[in-house]
Homo-oligomer: A and B are copies of this chain.
């Protein structure tokens, strides 16, 4: 980020020229809003976000930032005009003018937090809702105890996509501090976001009145009743008295040979761009762009209208819009660097999320160790990792998304699922089949999946990459044959993807299938194999909703573990740019369209790998009333990329060579942690004595 000191009437002021990957600054968002407001009057701002630079232009700039022209700063704008008319627009920020303005037909843009916030109040005063609450057993004067989690409606064939809708998942709180997910109601209002009214209510055939069981909570009064908080956890302090090992310039971070840009948008949250590794002086590109681009959470209960519960949390609400403001010593521990996020409000002002991203290092245990059994000569070296984190709240659930960088060139996205189960009401003794679990009396938590789409815009030693599927398989030669006499021969069977169609592949646990993103133009000097990053992902369930069904149609990206496409600007979000209320009947704007007939060449091309991974969650009472973190992770690991182990120069905790052992000499204690101590003497003394 270059600094341009500018002078206004009063005093010299510093202002910065954003890096082309930087999110729009507050001033840029304001400028875009002003341009649009001037041209189109009183509109609801849905999105004002960076249109990312065109890759060709950006690549030229990255190659020579001092001479190539900086890509234009362009605001990607979505507004809803009176009458519910949705416009997609682009604003050139330098020129201060709208360069594109399109009226959309039958597409609904993302649902903002403000739209979500509006529904509950309207529900509480709607006569039809009040009537249903009465049927549930709630008196009209208790309507303030009725809560509504507004959800995207997904897709409902009765309403289509021209009317902007939300569905209201209804709950009750006996006390304002109770957890409403314990008290689900059985009906589901449909909210028209333009009219701001309830236009219908879905009422189940079997009614399930509110059950006022004893509340179970995790707040202090509830815990006190159960005996109070435990008192036997002693603090752990994590400190970095000499500061952190990373360096941040603007939004670019450098750490342990890594360098990349940390972006953030309303949709994906954290976006990492231009990820490179300084390999002994040579800066080698690895990924042009890395982010979570979509997810879908299909619920497995066939009763109407539960099929509508399959939120595309990124495409329908936005991981950026829903992100938490993080707190030092709570969400993150140690020595932390934060970055804020700025978004427009629907009214065209600015909403700042303080500490939207946290960045810190952690000790990561052993990096490598070897002892020679002959003489106990040994080297032991500890590892460090860098974590870029955000946490977002999607109604009941939270997702802590961590991008973990390891010193050895491995990148590890990890998502920690926590928060609260989505719940539905059940009658006492009701047979709920196999579609869910009674996690508390009267609380039915449905089976569900969390399927994430990781978009890997590969740049492994340059833009021309090829993807291979790799399976561990035995030799074909039978036991007893000269080629495999003892039957022990096995190898990595590699299947090259030459077209997008070939790349549409599923996981195979038995062959511990992986996928290599390779640069066939860069063969390793020793192994002769192409410089590669290997995708190792082990939580890869199939899409459980069936072929031809609603979720299968809408979540085309989730039909396979891997799809590979040729890069094209603006092909970022595989379920589409505007996801709410899509039926899935048309592939327009989704990965299905981008793949088309699948004949596009992806061999030795600028390719994007789309990876679907996730968990299947069959709820249990342990998950209620709040769920202990369930982590899911995968790794991208360099193979045949580095000349050899790239972390040999990390100072060892201790290293003693055979000749030092022989000479009875002291080894190298370059990074022994001298603050470590023996555990409390009384416990140490216990060992074998009392």
Q: Are A472 and B616 in contact (CB under 8 A)?
A: yes
Q: Are B408 and A628 in contact (CB under 8 A)?
A: yes
For the complex, what is the distance from the CA of A683 to the CA of B386, rounded to whole Å? 15
Could you list 14 A-B pairs, sorted by A, with CB under 8 Å?
A16-B689, A237-B675, A251-B687, A300-B491, A335-B677, A338-B687, A373-B395, A383-B628, A486-B551, A487-B546, A487-B548, A510-B541, A511-B541, A628-B645
Give A255's nearest chain B residue, CB to CB.
B232
From 470 to 512 in chain A, residues with beta carbon under 8 angstroms from any chain B beta carbon are: 470, 472-475, 477-480, 483-492, 506-512
**With an 8 A cutoff between CB atoms, is A671 at the interface?**
yes
Q: Is the interface of A mostly helix, strand, loop or mixed?
A: loop
**With an 8 A cutoff between CB atoms, is A569 at the interface?**
no
From 63 to 101 in chain A, residues with beta carbon under 8 angstroms from any chain B beta carbon are: none
- Taking the nearest CB of chain B, how far is it from the CB of A105, in angstroms? 26
**With an 8 A cutoff between CB atoms, is A120 at the interface?**
yes
Q: Which residues of B contact A362 (CB under 8 A)?
A: 236
**With an 8 A cutoff between CB atoms, is A567 at the interface?**
no
Contact of A484 among B113, B475, B546 (CB under 8 A): B546
Q: Are B658 and A379 in contact (CB under 8 A)?
A: no
Additional A-B contacts beyond A176-B658, A176-B662, A237-B239 (20; CB < 8 A)? A218-B645, A219-B379, A229-B649, A230-B650, A232-B245, A234-B240, A237-B238, A244-B683, A248-B683, A307-B486, A329-B676, A338-B684, A360-B679, A366-B629, A435-B491, A472-B541, A510-B541, A512-B541, A512-B615, A626-B648
Q: Which residues of B contact A602 (CB under 8 A)?
A: none
Also in contact, A335 and B662, with CB within 8 A (given A236-B363, A638-B622):
no
Give A510's nearest chain B residue, CB to CB.
B542
Counting every copy of the chain, the complex holds 2
Also in contact, A374 and B117, with CB within 8 A (given A177-B659, A246-B683, A620-B639):
yes
Contact code string A161-180 (vs B, CB < 8 Å = 1, else 0)? 00000000000000011000
For the complex, what is the distance from the CA of A476 to the CA of B104, rounded to whole Å? 39
For the complex, what is the distance from the CA of A316 to the CA of B655, rounded to whole Å? 29
Q: Which residues of B contact A1 (CB under 8 A)?
A: 690
**With an 8 A cutoff between CB atoms, is A680 at the interface?**
yes
For the complex, what is the distance from the CA of A366 to the CA of B248, rounded to whole Å? 25
**With an 8 A cutoff between CB atoms, is A670 at the interface?**
yes
- Taking the nearest CB of chain B, how far is it from the CB of A233, in angstroms? 5
For the complex, what is the distance from the CA of A89 to the CA of B248, rounded to whole Å? 66
**With an 8 A cutoff between CB atoms, is A369 at the interface?**
yes
- Taking the nearest CB of chain B, how far is it from the CB of A185, in angstroms? 17
Q: Which residues of B contact A668 (CB under 8 A)?
A: 220
From 402 to 424 in chain A, residues with beta carbon under 8 angstroms from any chain B beta carbon are: 406-410, 416, 418-420
- Taking the nearest CB of chain B, how far is it from the CB of A317, in angstroms? 10
For the complex, what is the distance from the CA of A369 to the CA of B401, rounded to whole Å? 13
Q: Are B368 and A418 in contact (CB under 8 A)?
A: yes
Q: Are A327 and B648 in contact (CB under 8 A)?
A: no
**With an 8 A cutoff between CB atoms, is A674 at the interface?**
yes
Q: Which residues of B contact A247 (CB under 8 A)?
A: 683
Contact code string A635-649 (vs B, CB < 8 Å = 1, else 0)? 000111111111111
Q: Which residues of B contact A300 (CB under 8 A)?
A: 488-491
Q: Are B629 and A368 in contact (CB under 8 A)?
A: yes
Q: Which residues of B contact A383 (CB under 8 A)?
A: 628-629
**With an 8 A cutoff between CB atoms, is A284 at the interface?**
no
For the complex, what is the distance from the CA of A684 to the CA of B253, rounded to whole Å? 12
Q: Are B627 and A545 in contact (CB under 8 A)?
A: no
Q: What 8 pairs between A and B have smallest CB-CB spacing?
A: A487-B549, A509-B509, A307-B486, A434-B491, A329-B673, A330-B653, A487-B546, A538-B538
**With an 8 A cutoff between CB atoms, is A441 at the interface?**
yes
**With an 8 A cutoff between CB atoms, is A35 at the interface?**
no
Chain B interface: which of A188-196, A522-530, A586-594? A522-530
Q: Among A371, A483, A662, find the residue whose CB has the most chain B CB atoms closer than 10 A.
A: A371
**With an 8 A cutoff between CB atoms, is A578 at the interface?**
no
Q: Are B336 and A248 in contact (CB under 8 A)?
A: no
**With an 8 A cutoff between CB atoms, is A134 at the interface?**
no
- Taking the nearest CB of chain B, how far is it from the CB of A14, in angstroms? 7
Contact of A256 among B232, B393, B616, B678 (CB under 8 A): B232
**With an 8 A cutoff between CB atoms, is A345 at the interface?**
no
**With an 8 A cutoff between CB atoms, is A597 at the interface?**
no
For the complex, what is the distance from the CA of A686 to the CA of B254, rounded to whole Å? 13
**With an 8 A cutoff between CB atoms, is A331 at the interface?**
yes
